[in-house]
Homo-oligomer: A and B are copies of this chain.
Amino acid sequence: MIPYQIIEKKSRGEVLSATEIAEFINAYTNGNIPDYQMSALLMAIFIKGMSTEETLALTKVMLESGERMDFSGAPGFVADKHSTGGVGDKVSILLAPILAVLGIHIPMISGRGLGHSGGTLDKLESIPGFNVNLDLDTWHDLVMTEKVGLVGQTGNICPADKKLYSLRDVTATVRSIPLISASIMSKKIAEGIQGLVLDVKTGNGAFMQTVSESQALANSLVSIGKGYGIKTSALITDMNQPLGAAIGNWFEMKESVLGLQGKGPDDLMEVTYALGAEILRMAQPDLTQEVAIGMQQKTVADGSAFEKLLKIVELQNGDPKILENMEAYPEAKFSKTVHVKQSGYLAQINTMALGFAGIQLGAGRRVISDEIDYSSGMYIQKKLGEKVETGDEVLTLHSNNETALQEVAGQLSNVFTYTDTRPEIPPLIVERIN
């Protein structure tokens, strides 16, 4: 195998063989192919695409690059939820404890911020001490005993994907159906789950901006899952505005806690419950949608889901007290408010620009080595379709980097579009695919 020739072949748009894909990816994982050759191949795949067979071959080599978990001894249903990434999407942090309380085992492997989107791991790590790097045995025990463990791509789970994911994040090769499909599904299959619900975001803050792209991704993901014998469904949900109000790691952690305390934003709770219902109904096919949602609401109302989160945080070395006394968290030194420029209705939000603005403020990484400022980020105070007056607060930015804060504030003038007449708002849950 000559790496140069494989890169060249894909750059011409030709189909790579399963052997070529396996040899290239394995050599990269073992350090025998440098990042700069891998990123050239990634860009060629990104632009020229991959066939279904190539995507399956890529999923297989990534899955087989590491260990696979075995939860066959678990007394209940073993399942996971995965989102394709958006802005302000903190659903996993709410859903994991809710479902655990309801008896579902959740061996959840989450990711870090990718492109303009945030990552569950970064949000969890905003809790002092929280350890997402459990070894596989500890994690396995946690899932068996507590029903949930929230980890990163730990130990030797899909090491090929781990290395590739970091590289895609900084080379603008994220938004590719075959690369996304293989990355998500190799990790999910390695979790040893029986059920999987996918939250495929659509809109201007999603990696897939049109509904048809999102459908294509959802179909690709669902077919790989089913091919491996996993009950799989997908909800296509709207990402033309942030989910909830908080963007930024600690801010999102805080909003998740509020959600589990019954004070969460409507859109966040609706998406959370709808995804939870998918899993609950895979576990118990005779449940109605209404009952599946009601069961979850009860875990919030009676405090059991929040208790579960505190327990998880404690067991993963985090400080649960900060979640019970969130005002004690260090605040960013600088903040700045953005105001509505024109009375009328909030008609459009450039959601991706908000995601990138968050990164500039310190909430994400521009290069792999960047450190995150957990106290930075923003709150959006208006929702699409809402009636607004000139001068209303629409966004508050927070950062420890004053220069970045001023820069970002200057760039945000065209992020919001206002109209005189009430605009049509896309549905929050667009479609179910299974």
Contact = CB atoms under 8 A, between A and B. Distances in A.
A170 interface: yes
Give the interface size class of chain A.
20 to 34
Interface stretch (A30-38, A225-233, A330-338, A387-395): A30-38
A44 interface: yes
Contact of A4 (B36, B40, B41, B115): B115
Contact of A37 (B2, B7, B37, B39): B39
Contact of A39 (B40, B47, B115, B366): B40
A46 interface: yes
A47 B7 CA distance: 12
A167 B4 contact: no
A27 to B, nearest CB: 11
A172 to B, nearest CB: 4
A162 interface: no
Contacts of A3: 170, 366
B43 A40 contact: yes
A210 interface: no
Nearest to A360: B2
Nearest to A6: B172
A115 B4 CA distance: 8
Nearest to A368: B34
A45 to B, nearest CB: 10
A115 B2 CA distance: 11
Nearest to A35: B36
A371 interface: no
A224 interface: no
A414 B114 CA distance: 49
A40 B171 contact: yes
Nearest to A40: B171
Given A11-B46, A43-B44, A366-B2, A36 B170 contact: yes
B172 A7 contact: yes
Given A8-B172, A48-B47, A2 B356 contact: yes
A2 to B, nearest CB: 6
A325 interface: no
B366 A7 contact: no
Interface in A1-34: 2-5, 7-8, 11, 34
B356 A5 contact: yes
Nearest to A173: B40
A210 to B, nearest CB: 14
A43 B11 contact: yes
A368 to B, nearest CB: 9
Nearest to A13: B47
A38 B37 CA distance: 11
Contacts of A367: 34
A266 B35 CA distance: 44
A279 interface: no
Given A8-B172, A39-B40, A40-B42, 7 more contacts: A2-B356, A3-B366, A34-B35, A37-B170, A40-B171, A43-B43, A43-B47
Closest 4 CB pairs of A and B: A43-B43, A40-B171, A7-B172, A8-B172
12 contacts: A2-B359, A2-B366, A4-B172, A4-B366, A7-B172, A8-B172, A11-B46, A36-B38, A37-B171, A39-B40, A40-B42, A40-B171
Interface of A: 2-5, 7-8, 11, 34-44, 46-48, 115, 167, 170-173, 356, 359-360, 366-367
